[in-house]
Amino acid sequence: MKLPVSTEWLLHCATSLAQLKPGDTASAAQLAQYYDLPAAYLAKQLQALVRAGVLSATTGPRGGFRLARPASEITLLQIVEAVDGTSSPYECREIRQQGRGALSPDECRNPCILAEKMAEAHEAWRLSLAATSLAEIIAALPPSAPPRTRRRLTGAP
């Protein structure tokens, strides 16, 4: 069970975008320089956040990415699931219905207990991530962080 490395990238990028002034954008190239990441691949992953409705993209000069909604309404879960998908890591393939020990369809009316327990754990994970919004992450940073982030993102010395 491994999350893509790009998960970290996008969590940090979203945090950076949340520190911009409303209406401002940052391009994929700027974000890539800010964190020293492969620009093309980062752009590809940012598109996933656009498709998920977390970011909105503008083309052309002075274009780039910005948050599609207020930072207080974007949770860590939404970002992670935009990158990695929403499916559960445990996929029940109903092996209890196969082989010599196969259960009758009648005995499988209620779902597999093991699958239920795994789903509960996944739900606990999701709830934990959904409990934190980007706004709370920003609030935990020192007050000097946002201006500095803006400065360094735009490339100003």
Partner DNA sequence: GTTCGGGTACTCGGATAGAAGGTGTCCGAGTGAATGAGG
Partner DNA sequence: CCTCATTCACTCGGACACCTTCTATCCGAGTACCCGAAC
CA dihedral angle for residue 6, residue 7, residue 8, residue 14, rounded to 10 degrees: 100
Sign of the CA dihedral with 34 first, then 36, 37, and 40 last: positive
CB of 61 to a second copy, least distance (A): 21
DSSP state of 20: S
Neighbours of 83 (CB within 10 A): 20
Which of the stretches 20-28, 45-53, 54-62, 88-96 binds a second copy when contact is defined by CB under 8 A? 88-96
Which of the stretches 43-51, 52-60, 65-73, 89-97 binds a second copy when contact is defined by CB under 8 A? 89-97
**CB of 56 or CB of 132, closer to a second copy:** 132
Binding footprint of DNA on the chain (CB under 7 A): 2, 4-6, 27-30, 38, 40-41, 43-44, 46-47, 50, 57-65, 84-85
